[in-house]
Every structure is written in C-alpha cells, then in structure tokens.
Structure 1
Amino acid sequence: MKQIIQSFKTGATVLEEVPAPAVKRGCVLIQTTRSLVSLGTERMLVEFGKANMFQKARQQPDRVKEVLAKIKTDGLKPTINAVFNKLGQPLALGYCNVGKVIAVGDGVNEFKTGDRVASNGPHAEYVCIPKNLVASIPDNVSDDEAAFTVIGSIGLQGIRLIEPQLGETIVVVGLGLIGLITAELLVANGCRVVGIDLDARKVAMAKTKGIIAINPSEGVDPVKYVQSITDGLGADGVIITASAKTDEIIAQAAKMSRKRGRIVLVGVIGLNISRTDFYEKELTFQVSCSYGPGRYDDRYEKEGIDYPLPFVRWTEKRNFMAILQAISTKKLDVASLITERVQLSNFEQIYNNISSQDSIASLLEYPEKSSDSVTVSITDGQFSAGKGGIGIIGAGNFTSMTMLPVLSEINAPLYSIASASGLTGTTLAKKHKIGKSTTDYKSIINDPSIDLVVITTRHNEHAKMVREALEAGKHVFVEKPLALNKEELDSVIKAYKGDKMLTVGFNRRFSPHMQKVKQLTGNVQMNVIATMNAGHIPANVWVHDLKVGGGRIVGEACHYMDLITFLTGSKIKSVCMNAMGLNPQANTDSASILLEYENGSTGVINYFSNGSKSYSKERIEVYAQDRTIVTDNFRVTEGFGFSGFSKLKTTIDKGHAAQFKLLVERTKNGGGALVPFDDTINTTLASFAAIESLMTRKWVNV
C-alpha cells in the first residue's frame, strides 16, 4: 500500500510503498477513501524536518540537555549514533482519516465490514485503528465532510474546557481550519463570537458564518475592539487556536478578558505569561489536550476500555460522534472549508509548497482499488534454507539502534523484517538491505528460507512467538524476558526439543569486561554486587504494565540474574527481594534482590530508578579470595589483588556485538547453546521468585 511519510532528518515528504497492516484485536482495518491534511500541524513537522541540526537543537533545548547528559554517561560516539538513529526514523503524517471497514478484530462488536467510519488514522491506503478512535458516519454525511471529524474534535474539546454559556462573548484567536470550526460551533452554541486573524480571506469566510471577524493588520486593535463591543467588560472566554512563537497573543488574550475570564489554548504559542495580567483579573488558563479525555491513555486508546459515560460524558470517541452529528444536522458546515481535492498520487501539490500554502482545507482522495499486500520486497537478496537466513519480528528502538547495526556490520543474511505498522520495518529494511518487509510475522516463522527467527517485540508476545518458531523448526533469539509468568514459561519448555538453538538476549555475559572477570575469577565462591542506575520511566509506559511489559524486575533485572549466574558458574537456589514502597501488585522499579547460589555464592542486585542520570548506569563488583574486581558502565574494569592485571578500558561494550556474531555463526555452522537452556530457565524462574518474595515478604526457593 501507499503511505505519506516525512523524514525528521531531511524534511523530505514521500509516498512510500509499505506493507498493509493486519487487523489486530480491539481494532478495525479500514480502507481509506479520504484524508484531510492538517496544514498547521503538518507544516510545523515538515519545517522542523527541513531545519538544520543547529536549528533543530534551538527548537528543542530540553532534548539538547538530554543529549549532553547521555554523552557524559555513554560517551560521544554512542550518543551521536542514537541521535542520528532517532532522526532517521520516519514520521507517518496525517490524523484525519475516512474509509470503509474491511476487517474487524476480536473484541470489537460495534462495527462490521462495510461500515463507513472516521478515525485518526494517517495518510495511508489502509489503516488499523483501535475501536475507541473510530466513529460511524451518518448516511447523510459525505466522505469529504466526515474527513473533518478528528480535527473538528480538537476545536470541540477546547470549547468543552471553556464551558461557554448562551449569550457569552467568546473570542477565537486564529481562524485557520480549527479556529473556523471552533467559532462556528460556538455560534451554534448561542455565543457571540469574535474571530481574529491576519488573513483577509479567512476573516471574510468567518463573516459568512455569523462570526464577528477582525483583521489586526488592517489597523484594528483587537483588545480595544473586544472591550468596545462588550461595554468595557471584556470577553467571557478566549480560545487560542493560532500557531505562532510570539508571547503577544497570550498577553492580548489576558487584556481582552473580563475579570475571572477563561482562556484555553488549543494551538501553539509563546507562553511568557505576565503575572500581573492574570493576577489582577483572577483569570484561569488551561491547555487543551487534543481530541478529549482518553488521549494518550493506553487503557482507553489501545485496550479499548471506555470511561463510564455518567462520569466522563465527552471522551475522544464521543467528541468524534458529536462532530459528525453537528455536520449531519447542518449545525456545522465544513464543505465550504474545502479549498482543494488532490489525488493521493499527486500529494506533492500540497506538500511541496506547504510552508506557503494558503489553503484552508486540503483533501486527499484515494483510489478505489489499491494493493493490500502484507509483504513488500525491498532487495533482491535470497537465502537458501540451511544457510542461516534471518527473519526479524519487531522494529523498535532495540532493533534499530542496537541489533541491526551489529548484524549489518557482520554481513548477516537478513531476509525479512516484520513490524505492526509496516512503516518502521520498511524503513529499516531499506537502510540495512533486508530482503522483505511485512506486517505478517507468521510469514517469517513459516518461511523455509529462514533458519533463525529474531524476536524483539513487546514482552507479552515473546513466549507465544518463541513457541511458534520452535514448533516450526527454527532457531530462535528473543530479547529478554523469555516469559512473563510460569504458564508462558511452561509452554516454551514444552515446545523446546533441544534440536534447535534458543537464545535469550542476556548479552552482558558476552561483554569483554565480563569475559575478563570470568577469566580472572573462575568458578569459585564469590560475592557479586550488581547495581543498575536504571533511571525513571513514566508510569504510563508499557514496560510497567504487568500484562504487557511484566514490570522492570522481570523485564530488565533478569539481565543481572543471568550475569551473576555466569560469573559464579552456579544456579540460583533462592531469592529474596525488598522494594522501596511496596506496591500491592508487586510492580516496582526500585528494589534490592538477594540471590543465594547452589555453590554458596551470594549475589546482590540493586535495581534503582531514583538515581541521578549523571552517575554511571551500571556497576558490577566481584569479591572473591581476597581479591576485588570492579566494572564501571562496561567501559572500565579495575582489578585489585590480581597479579598481572590492573585495568581494562574500552568504549561502552555490553556484549551485543559478540553475542550476535556468535549467534550468526552458530546458526550457520552449528554448535552449543550460547546461553545454556538450564541457565535461561533458572534465571526466568528466579525473576518470578523475586516478585513472589516481595508479595510474601519471604525467601522463595527457585
């Protein structure tokens, strides 16, 4: 299928050939007929992409601070690689989509095949959208009109926040597409609406819709004008839908407001607020969040868990429905806002001149018949069975930033890559000369040309995909963790026959620093202290979700359980974990774990999320036979009490390169497991035992 994407690195906007998405649980698959170009939002993105590195840095000072901090802890080269990798990731443009449902996922009952729907899908011929971001279109609303649903909801949410009452005077600053829709809805709500814009054409259009519209560039002072028509009282409310860097807009909004007036920001402006302006009038100011309640809440948007209507009357989806109803009942006229209609294949008519585009609303029209293939060929590379062909499932940050650069450098036979959307996988396939990009991961598992299946998806998918790949007779590499619970682990153990390699991404044992520590200490009783200064991850990120990520102990601290097992040469016998602030669900990311080993060794894992980013992220200390060896951030290892060894220094090397090089060699030539299967099972069980220990406040045997 075709999809419009934009590069943050170059600013180029292209129509890319990518695999069509497959329908997922809780979602509907939509064949697009129309999509609306949000000129304001998309203009900002395109202009940012075209800016040089210095200009980009000036626009994002907070990101610059993060980069500088990363240089201190990780070094210059890894940081530069991470920055360029981030800039190289494409952005799917668009969020105002209309089409017909062609497939319905499990758990979706409110839609059926053939339904016309509006959604926040991108500019693509096929989109897969969660049900709470999709709304049915009334029969008397055309596809052209329905394309305004999502962008109209942005304005509607601003109105809901300002809580207008019949007869109030509300000012709308900025009469672009969102501003015009906002103003027209306020008129329908019984308000006296004053619109302000510097574009004479938009001002003229606003006047045709019953809006009192003024143009400051023609000499009209907006503050004095609003004061004059309100008999000196000022506006009851101001909704700012403009996009400008100046602070003057917020200053004028305060000055034209009445005492205890309300100001809501929908657009993007400078926010250097004068305390005096707000203090003397006791003004309220609020920023509107996109389409309404539910936005950026994964439980609502991705899991389809709705907010109960009696308590949250207007959610994203219900705002979508309200806009469609307003169009259906002719309270909102959006057809008059359409400036141009452009075929998808001619998208450059809009994007090549987007910075100077004076259109109000541009519509993209899609062909009735288009390719819905879930796989696209990228290169002519073909690999025969038994030659080590690799298929990758998952195209996230680990794949793009860590794994693929290593595999490309050693010329690994990369045959295919699967990603949920198709876009990220296709981008990586082109960059790393991977043969195919697909949205059907099972096509990789069932492909006879692929010998090694690499799984780097979200954690809740690991065990299932590992089992399917083993049952298909493939070697498997899976990023940690192997499983999130005992039931998943048992299913993997049942599928594992020992004739195929199963490797979990416990890369740290392959680091030259840990190899050196192992060489120097051997298999003796030892005390090991491993500290992970993991850093804070916001609570709404998927890794904290016990059903999806499993939490950071199961999902990440397992690294150190495996590493200490490698160093001691023994199995974990029992586990005790204590955490700061006991969570009833045992979901913690600040904990200390005590490990008892069969050979009498002891391991301590300090996994903390509350430390400083300026401090080293990882530190391993080994104490054995009157000797001590310390590794700092996998860059420096120092020995104390060793004859002939004092220090090893490298760039940061956590063992990924050595791990993947060995993995490719073993896949082609055979050999023993990279990580013994018994070690993998023991580590996984120990991570479960840590959670049980926290819940029961006891030592737990593995």
Structure 2
Amino acid sequence: MNKQIFIDKGRLVTKKIPEFNCRPGELIVDVLFSAFSSGTEFGELAKSSESLLSRARKSPEKIGKAINMIKATGLKNTINFVEDSQLALQATGYSLAGIVKSVGEGINDFVIGDLVACSGAQYAHHATQVKVSKQLCVKIPDGLSASVASTVTLGSIAMQGVRQANVVLGERVAVIGLGVIGQITSQILLAAGAKVTGFDLDTRKIQLATDNGLHQGLDAKNSDVLHRAQELTDGYGFDKVLICSSDPSPASAEMAFEISRHRATVVMIGGIGLDLNRSLMYYKELNFVASMSYGPGRYERDYEERGLDLPISYVRWTENRNMLSYLEVAKDRENNLKNLIGRIVDFDDAEKYLNSEEPKTLNKPLIIIKYLEFDRDENIESIKSNKNTGKIQPKNKKIQLGLIGAGGFVKNFILPNLSNIDGCNVAALVSSDSAAIVNMRKKYDIDLGFSSVDDVLDCDIDAVIVANRHSEHFDLIKRSLNKGKHVFIEKPTVNKAEQLEGLLGVFSENEHQNQLVYTGYNRAFSPHIKFVQEQLENIKSPIMLSYQMNAGALKKDNWQYDLEEGGRNIGEAVHIYHLFGALFKSKPESISVTCVKGSKSYMAYDNFSANIRYENGCVGILTYTSIGSDAFPKESFIMHSGGTTIVSNNYTETKIVGGKTFKTSLSEKGHREVLQSFIRSLIHGTSEMTREEQIDTMHIAFCVESELRDGLRV
C-alpha cells in the first residue's frame, strides 16, 4: 500500500493511498527523496489552520462568491462546499527524485529503472509513489546524488528567474531574500559568472550564503545598506536585481528599485506586495519583470498533460529544459547545495518530525524526506508496492456502485445526492487524485479507493457511475458492459459520431441486452419538467418550444474547447436535445442550424440556434449563446401548445400564463431525480431511460455539430 503526507488543518498527516495506474503519457515513479521547502510548506500549513473568518478577511472577494453560490445552490450546499474546502486534506510537496516503475504508452525516452527528478504540485507529492507527466520528469545526470536532484523544482523556479533577468557574464546582480529560492538563485548566478550580492533580514541566511561562495551579503535591516550597495557597484547600482523574498508589503520592491542602476532589470520571483513607487521606476526607467514558476509550458494543458513540446528553435528554455539545466548546475555545485540541507528524515518519521518545533529552529532551509534505499544494479522488479486490495462491506443488499471520477461535479452533485438515495451504496471510487480519494472515502464511508478503472471493474459491484473526461466515455461503457456492470454515464453518452456507430454495435450484442445504460440527461427529470408534463397531458396539438441557454463565456484554453472532449454543443447543449425528445415523445425529422460569425472575443460554435422538427409536428428551438448578460437567467424557455403558454425561468419558477405557478427555492435541474431513476431501474430491472432515446439525443447533437462545422467552413 502506498502512503502520502497531507495537510490537515495545520498539521501533517500520513494516509494510505491506492497504487497508481499508468496512463498514456504518464510515468509511475517510486520515490527516493522529496524536498520539503520550509518557508513555502510551513506557510501552507499555517494557512490551513486559519479560521473561515480569518480567510474571509484576507480574501473579501470570496464573500461575494459565497453569496452568489447561496443564491444558486442554497445555504446547505454552500455550507457543505465551504466545509469541504476547509476540512479536506490537501496534498503537499512539489519536488522529488525517484525510480521509474512504469512507463505509459507513447513515452519513448524513459525506461523502467531510470533515476529521475520530478516537478509539479499536481504530481510530485511527499508520497512513496507518484504519477507524473513526461514533461515534468527528467533523468538525473550521472554523478549527481538523488537527494540533491530532489530539489529540481526549487532549482527550476530559480533558473527561470535568472533567465528572465538575462544575466550577462560579469554583471553585478543583487538577490533580495536568501531563503531556499534565494540561496539556489545565488548558486546559479555564481555558476553564470555574475558578481552576486545577497540581502536578507536574517544574518544566519546571509552567513549560509557567504559560506557557499556568495561575494557579499548585506543585512537589509542596517541603516547603511543602501550606501553599502552603492559602494559595491562603484556608485552605479546593480545591473540586475532578483527578488526572491515572500513579503506582502512593497518593501522588497522598493529596496530593489533603490539599489538598481539606471535602466536595470528587476525580476519578481517571490510573492511580494505591488504597491509600487512609480517615481523610482520612472526616473530610472527600470525594466520590471515577473517570473512564472518553472518556465514556459507551466500550467499549459497541452504541454504538461499531453506532452506537446515547444520547439527549441522558438522557445529555448521550457520548464522541462530548465529542469535539466538546473540539474547540470547542481552536479557542478553539489556540495554547496548539500549545505542547504538542514535535516534528512525517513518517511516513516516525517509526520512526527515535521509537526514538532524542531524543524523551525534549523539554520538551513531544506528538509529532505528519504523513502527507499536503492542500488542501480538492483533488479527494479523487486521494488513494488502492495496493491490496494480489500473487500466491499455488505450494506443490507443495497445496489453496490463504483464511481469513476472525483471532479467538482462528483463532489457537488453526484455524491451528495447518492448519499440521500435509499437502496444504493457507493462501494468504490476511482481517481488519479489521491487527496480526493482519501477525502471522499472518509466523508461518504466508501469502502475502497483505486487509481485504476480495471480494479473497480473487477470488484463485486452492480453498476458503475462514470463522471470523468468526455473523451473516455465510450471506452468505459464498453469495458463496463464487458465486465457485466450496469452503467450510468454523465453526459454526453459518447462524444464522437463514429463512437455512436460503435455504441449501436455494442447495444446489438445479445450478452448486453439485460444491462442498463443510462446517461445523466437530468433536465427531463426536473420537478419543473414534471409539472410541465402534467399540464400537457390532455393537450393533443403540437408543441412549440423555444429554449434559451445563456451559457456564458469561457477562457479560450478551457478544456471544453478541446475537440477531443467534444465541445460545448456535444458536452452541454445535448441536455436540451434530450429534453425535447422527452417532452415531444417523437423522433427528430429535420434539423437546421445557424451560428453567428466568430471573432477574437467569442467562438462562433458557442453562439448558435438549432431548429429541430419532429415527426409528430413538434418544433424545438435551442438558442445557445456565450455573449449574453450574466444578469439574465442561464436557462429559460417558452412553450406554446393548444392555447396554453408555459414560461420557465432557470428551473426556479415555471408558470402557466393565466394559470398555475410552480416554484422552488433553488434551481432544481433534476440532478437528484435522474440518479433516483437509475437506482429504481436497477432495483426493478426495467429501465426508465431507453437506449433509443439516448441514441436519438446523440444523433441530434452530432447533426448540429456537423452543421456548425460545415457552416463555419463556408
């Protein structure tokens, strides 16, 4: 069983986590050493212990978000969300070294047994085993110890700051703040041939830096510090100044401007206050530059998750190349970097040690956590973790469910609703997020947690609920059915037209005829739609329904714009196509689509109108837009039939014009009701959602998508 250290309300705790499943483009790494950065990580610990009131005072903008959430989802759900945010365990750690245990499909430059250094707060945790994307993993050069290589993330942050300064051989460079980033920055600058002066308020840090070769160290508290800086630069000031301190006040920036020469470059690496002195910047014509994390590619999904590299001819230093470059510097200056380590502690003792007062008294900024002993000649196959095995505890013959996915929709809708539905039990959870597994298992009493879908499908469960990436839905439907499981799939059922043909093939196979496939098209299950259906029971004339979806704008790098994930028509508008079918009780006959002309500020296929005529004469018109006002309801519709007009506003108020009104205090879109329907169907053995209606829904979505794309090409 793997283990990982988490932050838990101001303390560190060690928890068991599942063994990782190696996906394409990822590596599984058994950890040798991880670097605990005292300043950053003890700071995160302190934040986690703060009360909600204290956090609100520091971030008043979150109060407004909470008020909006109360309006949208209710007080109870908002309290639940806030409590989860405060009480949930948080993963910690972002820099380590280890041994490659598994290599995912599509990776050719690593093999099992490679010694590697890994970065990323989303991957490189304090854990016995981690998964990491290939762009955040580099081989450790021969001759460099794994303990020093485990500082790769810290070194890459420092390296990117130095690159942003564009330091030239022989320049006079100041480093403000001699914590671990400042110490490593100084080492890189010394290796680059700069004349380096360090500034700090702590004389111990200054002494450590000078012991490691810093040319000059100045106490920032001394009244003559500015005079001394002028002396060291022959009265000109420093060519480059790198701010490595973490200081909410503007004091660090002001000092940087004071000690800079005319037209110098000041680089912000640490988090500082930005109430800046314009006159100093103006009269010296300073170049003020921010340095972002490890370098180009950071936070870019295509780069970090998909492994798409940035061409070296255009981007010389990406985050991955910065990692490699730092390790080469570290190899040459290994003794100096080792001198930054205050303590090496075994993983089994780390929780107790790091929660004590002793680490805060160390004179050196780094603590290294040690995991495994390793010999390069040792057979890598002997280093294995125990697989996460366990038994599902019987829950009075309830329907046993396996849940695949642990994102926001699962946390905010699926699990809270399932916990209040009789007759079912969530027995197993699959996620690549170990913190989510630990938190959700504890909160909802889930027996087992896995990182591999295969593991949950091998469990003794009745059905799976799939709530992960749209691009994986079709494959998971097939795998689940082949394992004899019923399936509830979050919309869309599939996300590509060719998959729809494949799904028809799967449905035609005799061995799957008795297995339920249910899609989370919840709008048709809303209490508001049930009210509408009751009003239409005795009306025989066709229905005219105009539906407005005021979806709102998204940033252009949002995952919903990823063609592999289907886009917003297939991923969201599909709800309304299913609703049309549920209300009209007929098959689509013809579809026409019109969209606006796109621009730099909005997408054409986010702003379209789909007009769908059904065989029984009903017409459904969906207007989907991202350019509407936030003050207008996200969803609304007007329906006409047989002399009756029905108006609905965001699933909070639905009224018959001149007649009854149905109201709910919150927006009730049917999230709970569609899950209840699925559980009832499992219990009674008869599906309340036909395969045919799901196929028809996706057929409409793909026809609309085709019309949109063809229209844009024209």
TM-score interval for Structure 1 and Structure 2 normalised by the shorter chain: over 0.9
Q: How is 1:312-461 mapped onto 2 (pairs within 5 angstroms)? A: 312-330=315-333, 333-348=336-351, 349-353=353-357, 356=360, 358=362, 359-368=364-373, 372-375=385-388, 377=390, 381-382=393-394, 388-411=399-422, 412-447=424-459, 449-461=460-472
Q: Are the aligned partners of 1:535 and 1:610 in contact in 2 as well (CA < 8 Å)?
A: yes
Runs of 5+ consecutive residues of structure 1 not aligned to the other structure = none
2-side partners of 1:427 and 1:373: how far apart?
21
Query: How has the CA–CA distance of structure 1 residues 247 and 322 changed in structure 2, closer, same or farther, with 3 Å as cutoff?
Result: same
Q: How is 1:222-301 mapped onto 2 (pairs within 5 angstroms)? A: 222-301=225-304
Residue in 1 that maps onto 2:193: 190
Deviations 1:416-464 (A, max 9, x none): 11112333123212210111111121222233x2111110011011010
2-side partners of 1:402 and 1:339: how far apart?
46
Residue in 2 that maps onto 1:528: 545
- Aligned residue type for 1:241: C
- Aligned residue type for 1:109: N
Q: Are the aligned partners of 1:73 and 1:615 in contact in 2 as well (CA < 8 Å)?
A: no
Q: TM-score, with normalisation over the residues of structure 2?
A: 0.92
Deviations 1:560-582 (A, max 9, x none): 11112212222222333333344
Identity of aligned residues (%): 31
Cα offset for 1:674? 2.5
Residue in 2 that maps onto 1:674: 688
Residue in 2 that maps onto 1:605: 622
1-side partners of 2:66 and 2:626: how far apart?
19
Q: SS at 1:375's partner residue?
A: coil
Q: SS at 1:409's partner residue?
A: coil
Residue in 2 that maps onto 1:683: 697
- Does 2:580 align with 1:580? no
Cα offset for 1:505? 0.2
Q: How is 1:609-620 mapped onto 2 (pairs within 5 angstroms)? A: 609-620=626-637
Query: How has the CA–CA distance of structure 1 residues 580 and 480 changed in structure 2, closer, same or farther, with 3 Å as cutoff?
Result: same
2-side partners of 1:472 and 1:633: how far apart?
39
Q: Are the aligned partners of 1:621 and 1:629 in contact in 2 as well (CA < 8 Å)?
A: yes
Q: Are the aligned partners of 2:429 and 2:448 in contact in 1 as well (CA < 8 Å)?
A: yes
Query: How has the CA–CA distance of structure 1 residues 352 and 532 changed in structure 2, closer, same or farther, with 3 Å as cutoff?
Result: farther
1-side partners of 2:603 and 2:387: how far apart?
40
2-side partners of 1:594 and 1:679: how far apart?
18
Q: How is 1:9-408 mapped onto 2 (pairs within 5 angstroms)? A: 10-120=9-119, 121-216=124-219, 219-330=222-333, 333-348=336-351, 349-353=353-357, 356=360, 358=362, 359-368=364-373, 372-375=385-388, 377=390, 381-382=393-394, 388-408=399-419
- Aligned residue type for 2:676: K
Query: How has the CA–CA distance of structure 1 residues 81 and 597 changed in structure 2, closer, same or farther, with 3 Å as cutoff?
Result: farther
Q: SS at 2:29's partner residue?
A: strand
Cα offset for 1:382? 2.8
Q: Are the aligned partners of 2:34 and 2:95 in contact in 1 as well (CA < 8 Å)?
A: yes
Deviations 1:577-603 (A, max 9, x none): 333344899873333222222222222
- Does 2:15 align with 1:2? no
2-side partners of 1:529 and 1:352: how far apart?
64
Deviations 1:134-153 (A, max 9, x none): 11112211111111112101
Q: TM-score, with normalisation over the residues of structure 1?
A: 0.93
Q: SS at 1:697's partner residue?
A: helix
Cα offset for 1:114? 0.8
Deviations 1:237-289 (A, max 9, x none): 11111112111111221222112111111111111112222122221212111
Query: How has the CA–CA distance of structure 1 residues 526 and 541 changed in structure 2, closer, same or farther, with 3 Å as cutoff?
Result: same
Q: Are the aligned partners of 1:162 and 1:264 in contact in 2 as well (CA < 8 Å)?
A: yes
Cα offset for 1:357? 5.3
- Does 2:641 align with 1:627? no
Q: Are the aligned partners of 1:82 and 1:401 in contact in 2 as well (CA < 8 Å)?
A: yes
- Does 2:496 align with 1:485? yes
2-side partners of 1:200 and 1:480: how far apart?
59
2-side partners of 1:355 and 1:669: how far apart?
60
Cα offset for 1:231? 2.7
- Does 2:584 align with 1:560? no
2-side partners of 1:309 and 1:207: how far apart?
36
Q: Are the aligned partners of 1:375 and 1:439 in contact in 2 as well (CA < 8 Å)?
A: no
Residue in 2 that maps onto 1:660: 675
Q: SS at 1:675's partner residue?
A: coil
Q: SS at 2:621's partner residue?
A: strand
Query: How has the CA–CA distance of structure 1 residues 581 and 115 changed in structure 2, closer, same or farther, with 3 Å as cutoff?
Result: same
Query: How has the CA–CA distance of structure 1 residues 370 and 619 changed in structure 2, closer, same or farther, with 3 Å as cutoff?
Result: farther
- Aligned residue type for 1:663: F
- Aligned residue type for 2:407: G
Runs of 5+ consecutive residues of structure 2 not aligned to the other structure = 374-381
Cα offset for 1:165? 1.0
Q: SS at 1:588's partner residue?
A: helix
